Amino acid sequence: MKIRDLLLFGTLLTAPAMLDAQQTTVPSSSASQAAPEDEGLTGSVTDESEWQDLGIAIPSFPTNASVPTAAEGGNTEALGRNVARVVYNDLRNNGLFKPVGPDQLPEVAFPQVTAPTFDAWRGRSAEMLVQGFVKANDDGRLTVGCYLYDVALGSELARQGYVVKPEEWRRAAHKCADMVYSRLSGESPFFDSKIAYIAETGPKDRRRKQLAIMDSDGANHRFITNGQATALTPRYSPDYSKIVYLSYLNGAPRIYVYNIGTGQQTLVTSSTNPTFAPRWSPDGKWILYSMAIAGNTDIYRVPATGGQSTRLTDSPGIDVGGSYSPDGSKIVFESDRSGSQQLYVMDADGSNQKRISFFGGRAATPEWSPRGDQIAFTHIGGNFRIAVTDPYGKGMRFLTDSWQDEAPTWSPNGRIVQFFRTERGSGKTGIWQVDLTGRNERKLNTPVDGSDPAWGPVLP
Amino acid sequence: MNRPILIAGLAAVTLSLGACASKPKQLPPEPGTTTTTQTTPPPSQPTGPVPGSQADFVASVISDTVNFDTDRYNIDASDQGILQSQASWLARYPAKRITIEGHCDERGTRDYNIALGERRANAAKNYLVSLGVDPSRITVVSYGKERPLALGSDEESWAKNRRAVTVTVS
């Protein structure tokens, strides 16, 4: 094993011991190793146009021996094609790359995974090559190897291996896509993550609203609530063990903490006042929520394990929502104390409340980027548009332009904003996402209409 | 035709709430199904709504609904008249309790609309209390923008949806 491998896999040791998708060492390739500081391959992707033409070939991942597996495809050979398809779709859907997937490419023999035929790939004008393999282990689990090659240089840029249970095969593919994305863009990974949202069905005046979850690419979709009580505004806890959300169970809006493992749920406070707009602190120890008392709404904080609530705002206006800065020291929230909805920042204990939005129109539903440098929000000025500003209210710019786009949530790496779009008239909703340039916008595939998306962190 | 439509609309609201409001004894005619038989004078025995029922409430008050301007929650002069008629009915039936539902139009963000609906329902409640209705008889609930009455995406529909609706509870 070379030193680079040790460095690469050294980062694994900091991860929790109970890894679901365990990384493992994979054989090194015969291709020469490119130094990590190679110019042109890292760096910021602020100007995406340079990346649009970066051709990435992703052929099917061969197997050493095709054996039955419980993962999709039924055997490891078919699974290898499915893994490559997931990697291809991940990389295709963020607008940075122009990948070519396994269904448009020739098969690769197992030994070629670590010894690519670079000349053949140059002939296909592929600049980057992602190869990998799938192996069934004796214990029923799977090992998936993932290699990134620079075709022009004829060298290996990165490599990772993952050991997963058959039912979690997609996570290996997302981890592979994350490795490629991170190595080529210089950004943090985000594909191996999940989204909680509200699935909507039925006519406009009787919308059935169910809590649902799915992977970042829409796979592994699952309804959590049955829709008998209206569910709204979910948020995943940072460790994905719980979802906090609003439900009209028992007739009034109250915040519940739903435990995904046990299926149990508890009220966030014992108060009989309506509670809504729940948010987690980045460390998962606190829940911010809004509570109306005699018509006046303020923001409160309560330990996630229950206990005494602390009131953070006390203006006679509507103070609502709230989103922690990544270090947990500040909170951006929305208040109409000045006459219309605007953005305010305060210290986490409620002190030093200051308005930051002075760009005309109204500003609502602020969400602090996981990178800390931007705040996404809903700008209301005629239409509802997703916009971003820095934490001081400077450099405001629009990311979307539609009739009603609302409620942004950040990708774990702070590069993409997800939101929901409502169609004028019909009231039909859909979940959309847009990158920070505003140029790459797309709708997510959900089984039914969707709103109130909440993107969780990258899985360990 | 206004009154029957209003009652039909209310019945739907009551059902959707799952509240145990008593049903009107006699359902109003379907809109647009006027027949000649209806022109015969009503029989001599009383067939009006049961006194103290939701139907009686709706038949007795000016309206069960007060409307609001965009982002506002103040009770204006016409709202005062409506709420005074509701307070008079509540004075006649002191055992009756009510729920006031606060609603908003679709042109607001979700969380803010829940808070705004609370404000509107409480504004109506406070006015009723100022007229002598015991606050313990009044429950408020905000539905934000979740339960529109009018389905269009236009000023007329939004004006109808910015409302506080009083529903009697047995």
Question: Which of A108, A111, A103 shows the shortest CA–CA distance to A87?
Answer: A103
Q: Per-residue pLDDT for B17 more than 80?
A: no
For A202-335, strand residue ranges (E) read 208-215, 222-223, 231-236, 242-247, 254-259, 265-267, 275-280, 286-293, 296-303, 310-311, 319-324, 330-335
Distance from CA of B118 to the nearest CA of A (A): 5
Which residues of chain A make contact with B116, given a CB cutoff of 8 A?
A: 318
Distance CA A159, CA A148 (A): 6
A206-220, A222-236, B34-48: least confidently modelled range: B34-48
Give pLDDT, residue A9.
35
Give pLDDT, residue A42.
34
Select from A204, A233, A274 the Cβ nearest to the Cβ of B148.
Answer: A204
More confident: A374 or B39 = A374
Judge whether A366 and A321 are in contact, CB under 8 Å.
Answer: yes
Which residues of chain A make contact with B142, given a CB cutoff of 8 A?
A: 253, 274, 292
Judge whether A360 and A352 are in contact, CB under 8 Å.
Answer: no
3-state secondary structure of B81: helix
Residue of A nearest to B135 (CA): A294
Classify each residue of A249-286 as buried b or exposed e, where b means 16 or more C-beta atoms within 10 Å of its C-beta.
beebbbbbbbebeeeebebbbeeeebbbbbbbbbeeeb
More confident: A141 or B19 = A141
Q: Per-residue pLDDT for A176 more than 90?
A: yes
For residue A106, the domain's CATH number is 3.40.50.10070
Distance CA A256, CA A23 (A): 35
3-state secondary structure of A299: strand
| A400 and A288 within one domain | yes
| A290 and A161 within one domain | no
| A312 and A328 within one domain | yes
Domain boundary among A185, A210, A242: A185
Percent of chain A with pLDDT over 70: 91
Query: How many domains, chain B?
Result: 1
| A78 and A31 within one domain | yes
| A226 and A181 within one domain | no
Give pLDDT, residue A143.
97
Residue A102 φ/ψ, nearest 5 degrees: -65, -25
Which residues of chain B make contact with A406, given a CB cutoff of 8 A?
A: 109-110
Residue of A nearest to B112 (CA): A320
What are the tens digits of pLDDT across the range A88-123?
999 998 777 889 999 999 999 999 999 999 999 998
| A156 and A214 within one domain | no
Residue of B nearest to A342 (CA): B112
What are the tens digits of pLDDT across the range A362-381?
999 999 999 999 999 999 99
Say whether residue A238 is in contact with chain B using an 8 A CB cutoff.
Answer: no
Select from B109, B141, B146 the Cβ nearest to the Cβ of A365.
Answer: B109
Select from A295, A406, A425 the Cβ nearest to the Cβ of B152.
Answer: A425
Q: Per-residue pLDDT for A260 more than 50?
A: yes
CA dist A355 to A142, A259, A391, Å?
Answer: 52, 36, 11
Residues spanned by the domain of B81: 2-19+49-169
Residues spanned by the domain of A180: 3-185
Between helices A76-92 and A169-185, what is the axis angle to 10°? 40
Give the ipTM of the model, two decimals please.
0.89
Q: Per-residue pLDDT for B74 more than 90?
A: yes
CA dist A294 to A95, B74, B87, Å?
Answer: 48, 15, 20
Select from B112, B142, B148 the Cβ nearest to the Cβ of A274.
Answer: B142
DSSP secondary structure letters along A61-98: --BSS--B-SSTTSBHHHHHHHHHHHHHHHHHTTSS-E
Is B140 inside any structural domain? yes
Residue A137 φ/ψ, nearest 5 degrees: -90, 165
Q: How confident is the model at residue A53 (pLDDT cuts 50, 70, 90)?
A: low
What are the tens digits of pLDDT across the range A386-434?
999 999 999 999 999 999 999 999 999 999 999 999 999 999 999 999 9
DSSP single-letter state for residue A165: -
Which residues of chain A make contact with B122, given a CB cutoff of 8 A?
A: 294-295
Domain boundary among A166, A185, A204: A185
Is B44 inside any structural domain? no
Q: How confident is the model at residue A21 (pLDDT cuts 50, 70, 90)?
A: low
Average pLDDT, integer, range B106-131 = 98
| A209 and A167 within one domain | no
Distance CA A158, CA A71 (A): 26
Give pLDDT, residue A429.
98
Question: Which of A460, A410, A408, A457 shows the shortest CA–CA distance to A283?
Answer: A457
For residue B85, the domain's CATH number is 3.30.1330.60
Judge: A364–B18 Cβ closer than 8 Å, yes or no.
Answer: no
| A178 and A200 within one domain | no
What are the tens digits of pLDDT across the range A61-83?
999 999 999 999 999 999 999 99
Distance CA B109, CA A380 (A): 9
Is B146 inside any structural domain? yes
B151, with CB counted inside 10 A (0-12, 13-18, 19+), is middle
Q: How confident is the model at residue A245 (pLDDT cuts 50, 70, 90)?
A: very high
Query: How many domains, chain A?
Result: 2
Q: Which amino acid is at A384?
A: F
What are the tens digits of pLDDT across the range B140-166?
999 999 999 999 999 999 999 999 999
The whole-model pTM stands at: 0.85
Helices and strands (H, E) in chain B, number of each type = 5, 4
Distance CA A222, CA A439 (A): 30
Interface test with B, best of A204, A255, A426 (most B CBs within 10 A): A204
Residue A363 φ/ψ, nearest 5 degrees: -135, 125
Residue A372 Ramachandran class (φ > 0 left, ψ -120 to 50 alpha, else beta): left
Cβ-based neighbours of B24, under 8 Å, separated by 6 or more: B7, B11, B49, B50, B53, B54, B55
For residue A374, the domain's CATH number is 2.120.10.30
Domain boundary among A185, A211, A240: A185
Is B90 inside any structural domain? yes
| Residue in the block written with tokens 């139907």 | B55
Name the average pLDDT for chain A: 90
Which residues of chain B make contact with A452, given a CB cutoff of 8 A?
A: 110
| A261 and A179 within one domain | no
